[in-house]
Amino acid sequence: MEIFKAELITSSDISDIAARLRAGELCVVPTETVYGLAANALIPEAVDGIFKAKNRPNDNPLTVHIGAQSDMERFARDIPDSAYLLSQKFWPGPLTMVLLRSDLVPEKISAGAPTVALRMPDNEVACRIITAAGDPIVATSANISGSPSPTTLAHVLDDMGGKVSAIVDGGDLELGIESTVINMLTNPPRILRLGSLGVEEIERVIGPVEFDESSAPASAHRHYSIGKRAVLIKSSLEKFNEYIADKSDFAVLCFDGESFSVPHISYGGRDDSSSLGRGLFAALRELEGLEVSAVFMRCPEGDDALSAAVKARLMKTADNNFVEL
């Protein structure tokens, strides 16, 4: 397993990693959201390798990552005008669009559906590797299924160490929350996963969309779990303190500057949703490592898109155990 540093990467390193992908090996690449575990979509053993490395359920399809806007037409067909508009406005960037699959994309990666999810990451090294590989490249968050996505090299090594051929170390990633997923085949288009790109920003370009996470593949599986009971609490700090006063054997997920007499980990500034997005998964992984049986989590208070995306993930960590005080 070889580790390349993104900031020092050379053209011959890019060719080397692209050749590994063409040969069916698994590689981890940074994106602007979370680290992606990538493989050649045309090699069934490579695609199987992703499912094995992540212990991912077979009913959850994989996203084809593209290195250039024009690749949209290679991998999708009958593309609606609204998808062109979104791609022009938001690619490269944290938007994944579900479209009709072209014949170049194997059925296997879409769990048998006639669709394909496409995303062009806003990361130059990732795009260069994908373009150099030439074949369609699928990628998925490089975590064990059910766990928080990786946003640092340490997370990648924890989950994928020894299971992949190469890792590109892009440092601590910029956004920390995965892309927004939208199905462009329904009318109106349907948001399947809230993410780093806000729904309002999308609506400004293509008009109203609907939100129905329950129609997303694998929505019934556990996501972002930390292996212990978790409760998401929306309240003032004062009410939160009252709520936890009679509890025992727990830790707290809190905001910067807050202090508790029990183990507590901050995920960012209370009024700074981008810091919460960047810090969320690292904080959840730290909480997972603590020897407590429960975690009480401070809920983001903002009404912006990132706060909503962070809250949606914490709801999953909490298995919908939500309290408003």
| Residues in touch with ligand TXA (CB under 6 A) | 31, 33-34, 36, 60-63, 94, 96, 98, 110, 113, 115-117, 119, 121, 139-141, 178-179, 181, 192-193, 216-218
Given the DSSP bridges, would you call strands 95-101 and 115-119 parallel, antiparallel or unpaired?
Answer: antiparallel
In the complex, least distance from residue 220 CB atom to Mg ion, rounded to whole angstroms: 15
For residues 96 and 274, which CB has a smaller minimum distance to ligand TXA in the complex?
A: 96
Residues 129-168, interacting with Mg ion (CB under 5 A): 141
Orientation angle between helical segments 199-206 and 305-317, nearest 10 degrees: 130
Q: Which residue has the closest beta carbon to Mg ion?
A: 141
Of 170, 161, 160, 116, residue with least CA distance to 138: 116
In the complex, least distance from residue 34 CB atom to Mg ion, rounded to whole angstroms: 8
**Number of Cβ within a 10 Å radius of residue 173:** 22
Interaction partner, residue 63 (Mg ion, ligand TXA, none; CB < 5-8 Å by kind): ligand TXA
For residues 101 and 311, which CB has a smaller minimum distance to ligand TXA in the complex?
A: 101
In the complex, least distance from residue 318 CB atom to ligand TXA, rounded to whole angstroms: 19
Phi, psi of 118 (to 5 degrees): -120, 140
For residues 141 and 275, which CB has a smaller minimum distance to Mg ion in the complex?
A: 141
Interaction partner, residue 121 (Mg ion, ligand TXA, none; CB < 5-8 Å by kind): ligand TXA
116: helix, strand or coil: strand
Of all helices (H) and strands (E), which one includes residue 230? strand 229-234
Interaction partner, residue 122 (ligand TXA, Mg ion, none; CB < 5-8 Å by kind): none
Interaction partner, residue 275 (ligand TXA, Mg ion, none; CB < 5-8 Å by kind): none
For residues 36 and 170, which CB has a smaller minimum distance to ligand TXA in the complex?
A: 36
In the complex, least distance from residue 149 CB atom to ligand TXA, rounded to whole angstroms: 6
Q: Which residue has the tokens 């999308």?
A: 202
In the complex, least distance from residue 140 CB atom to Mg ion, rounded to whole angstroms: 6
Which residues, 6 or more positions from 303, have their beta carbon under 8 angstroms from its beta carbon? none
Q: HSE (CB half, 13 Å, CA atoms) of 309?
A: 30
Which residues, 6 or more positions from 138, have their beta carbon under 8 angstroms from its beta carbon? 38, 39, 40, 41, 47, 50, 62, 63, 64, 65, 109
Q: Do 61 and 110 meet the contact criterion of CB atoms below 8 Å apart?
A: yes
In the complex, least distance from residue 313 CB atom to ligand TXA, rounded to whole angstroms: 11
Give the residue ranges of DSSP H helices in 105-206. 124-133, 153-160, 199-206
In the complex, least distance from residue 192 CB atom to ligand TXA, rounded to whole angstroms: 6
For residues 298 and 313, which CB has a smaller minimum distance to Mg ion in the complex?
A: 313
- Binding flags for Mg ion, 274-313, as an x/- string (CB under 5 A): ----------------------------------------
Strand partners, 190: 183, 210
Interaction partner, residue 60 (Mg ion, ligand TXA, none; CB < 5-8 Å by kind): ligand TXA
Cα(320)–Cα(325) distance, rounded to whole angstroms? Answer: 16
Cα(63)–Cα(54) distance, rounded to whole angstroms? Answer: 15
Q: Which residues bind Mg ion (CB under 5 A)?
A: 141
